[in-house]
Amino acid sequence: MTGSAPRNDRLVLVGGTIHDPATGRDGVAADIWIEAGRIVAPPADPAGFVRVDAGGLVVMPGGVDLHSHVAGPKVAAGRRIAPQLARGRRGDTPAAIPTIHATGALYAALGYTTVFDAAIAPAAAAIAHRELAELPILDKGIYLLAADRADVLAAAGKADAAELRRLVAATIQASRGWAVKVANPGGPAFWKRGRRGDHHDLDTPLPGESLTPRILLERLAEAVTDLGLPHPLHVHTANLGLPGNWRTLHETMTSLAGRRAHLAHVQFHSYSGGDLDEDSFGSGVAPLAECFNRCDDLTADVGQVLFGGTVAMTGDSAAAEHLAHATGVPLVSHDGHLEGGCGILPIAYKEKNLIHAWQWAIGLEWFLSVTDPWRLCLSTDHPNGAHFTAYPHLMRLLGDAAFRREALARIHPRVRSRSPLSSIDREYSLQELCIVSRAAPARIAGLPRKGQLGVGADADIVCYRPDRDLAAMFAMPAKVFKAGVLVAEDGQLRATPAGQTLTAQPASPAA
């Protein structure tokens, strides 16, 4: 027999059923050839490749979580204030704030191979990078809260964009970021002047400035695009969590339309109603989804709430204070090294709680109302809406209308009767689940070699056992490969290679 001897960095996955939306493969039989961590074309001489039997398995690219919170001081504070959730009591599933090592292990065993922390203050970037270096297996990156600093706000107030571009580029380089996040545009400036948790609209000037949140959003989005960063401006708009805030998100969308931007955790920004009237609280998704479906340049992640205990953490201190006031739970307010802030508090979402039931229904309504899954990402804003290990449960809610109806029957009766969810029968196909959990987030995050299984892609590959119970199917992949290395099998870790830190290189900021 001729040919080279098998090498353990050369594999072929044989006989799997491929779901790879980026290359148009929707449940077709194909073999996948892997060499040196990448997917390669079928070789002329296959003799050196180790065969891995994927017969009967569903094969997808590795999961990509483009909005999570896994590192930095806020996550550490979450572990301190809710140690019972950090350890995971018997019967609890699973720890809300796992250790950094457990975070990587749990994500990998779930079939996820890339994660971004969506809110790191530049001054906390060094410690976040040190922690992420300890997060095994996954590739990872951080979004920098680059819009809280006084010099950035001052530059954003000038019509000449050169200074803003220069500051954003310098922040990305110095703090080794992947993207720019704005959390409540201008919010820290209001917060520092004692404007706590009250509404401000996009046209309220920042204290002592002519700059408004709207102008800040528009100029930041343009600066990020001009700098050629892989991911557009990551926008957590104003008034998170407040009744009636759907109008703010709607204004944000219309203001940013025509520019590239990503809208974070839209569920938390889609509420109707007024402050003093809990009865009027409800869903504002219909007009928002209608607007979103028309705005081709905008993308979003949902920030789904699922029932159970977790820890909320947000760089939007005003929102955290509002939540602490509403729930009576003490708040840890972390100053974010004087640039911004961060509020952290435990929360338990309950089926029979009117507001929590609305949040659950509103997130699902978003998923089921967006027509183009390529512009939508599956997220729970881990750990804010739910733990990332609840993603398989969420996938079943999306892909199994009967399962969703059973869940709907258990929630607060007023939400059950008023939410449009009860009249939506749409079910996500496997291909659509694949899009929102990997293909779309990879494309939106700006990772051309991820979220797909074409030649040249990173060999981040997951093999699932098909199961009518989609939660069971997605909770325990049969095999997970990261850069061609078998890292997990049936929920057991097989290897813990170090992942890469993804950092962006801004284009020259010169005009």
Q: Which parts of 439-478 interact with Zn ion (CB under 5 A)?
A: none
Q: How far apart are CA 375 and CA 299, in angstroms?
A: 5
Taking residues 97 to 136 in sequence order and writing x for each that binds Zn ion by CB under 5 A, - otherwise, the string is ---------------------x------------------
Contacts (CB under 5 A) with Zn ion, residues 162-201 = none
| Sole window of 17-25, 354-362, 373-381, 429-437 interacting with Zn ion (rule: CB under 5 A) | 373-381
- The SS3 call for residue 463 is strand
Q: What are phi and psi of 58, to 5 degrees?
A: -90, 125
Of 381 and 400, nearer to Zn ion (C-beta) is 381
Q: Which is nearer to Zn ion, 118 or 378 (CB)?
A: 118
* Secondary structure string (H, E, C) spanning 132-185: HHCCECCEEEEEEECCCCHHHHHHHCCCCCHHHHHHHHHHHHHCCCCEEEEECC
Element (H, E) at 364: helix 354-369
Report, in Å, the least distance between residue 153 CB and Zn ion. Answer: 21
Burial of 130 (0-12, 13-18, 19+ CB in 10 A): exposed
Closest CA to 230 of 311, 114, 133, 328: 114
- Which has the closest alpha carbon to 438: 457, 450, 451, 456? 451
Helix (H) or strand (E) holding 33: strand 25-35
Q: Give the nearest distance from C-beta 265 to Zn ion in angstroms.
A: 6
Q: Which one of 222, 251, 381, 432 is in contact with Zn ion (CB under 5 A)?
A: 381
Which one of the spans 32-40, 159-167, 379-387, 426-434 is the region binding Zn ion (CB under 5 A)? 379-387
Candidate ranges 93-101, 347-355, 361-369, 377-385; the one touching Zn ion (CB under 5 A): 377-385
Nearer to Zn ion, 67 or 404 (CB): 67
Tokens 């028309």, residue located: 294
CB 321 → Zn ion: shortest distance, Å?
A: 17
Sign of CA dihedral 327, 332, 337, 342: negative
Q: What's the closest the beta carbon of residue 255 comes to Zn ion, in angstroms?
A: 21
Examine residue 301 and tell whether it contacts Zn ion (CB under 5 A): no
Interface region with Zn ion, contact rule CB under 5 A, candidates 223-231, 255-263, 380-388, 407-415: 380-388
Q: Which is nearer to Zn ion, 219 or 265 (CB)?
A: 265
Phi, psi of 477 (to 5 degrees): -60, 145
Kindly tell me which of 381 and 432 has the beta carbon lying closer to Zn ion.
Answer: 381
Helix, strand and coil in the chain, % to nearest 5: 40, 25, 40
CB of 240 to Zn ion, least distance (A): 10
- Closest residue to Zn ion using C-beta atoms: 381
Q: Helix, strand, or coil here: 48?
A: helix
Query: CB under 5 A: which stretch of 2-10, 74-82, 374-382, 408-416 binds Zn ion?
Result: 374-382
Residues contacting residue 256 through CB under 8 Å, at least 6 positions apart: 217, 218, 221, 235, 295, 297, 298
Nearer to Zn ion, 13 or 118 (CB): 118
At its nearest, how many Å lie between Zn ion and the CB of residue 454?
31
The backbone region for 342, taken as left when phi is positive above 0, alpha when psi lies in -120 to 50, beta otherwise, is: beta
Shortest spacing between CB 181 and Zn ion, in angstroms: 8
Longest dimension (CA), the chain: 80
Nearer to Zn ion, 65 or 226 (CB): 65
Q: How far is the CB of 314 from Zn ion (least distance, A)?
A: 7
> Interface residues for Zn ion in 342-361 (CB under 5 A)?
none
User: Which range of residues in 87-95, 172-180, 376-384, 400-408 is near Zn ion by CB under 5 A?
Assistant: 376-384
Return the range that interacts with Zn ion (CB under 5 A); candidates 108-116, 347-355, 378-386, 418-426: 378-386
**CA pseudo-torsion sign 205, 209, 213, 217:** positive
CB of 135 to Zn ion, least distance (A): 17
Give dist(CA 115, CA 140) in Å, integer: 5
Count, residues near Zn ion per rule CB under 5 A: 2
Tell the smallest beta-carbon distance from residue 182 to Zn ion (Å).
12
CA distance 205 to 477: 50
Applying CB under 5 A, the residues found at the interface with Zn ion are: 118, 381
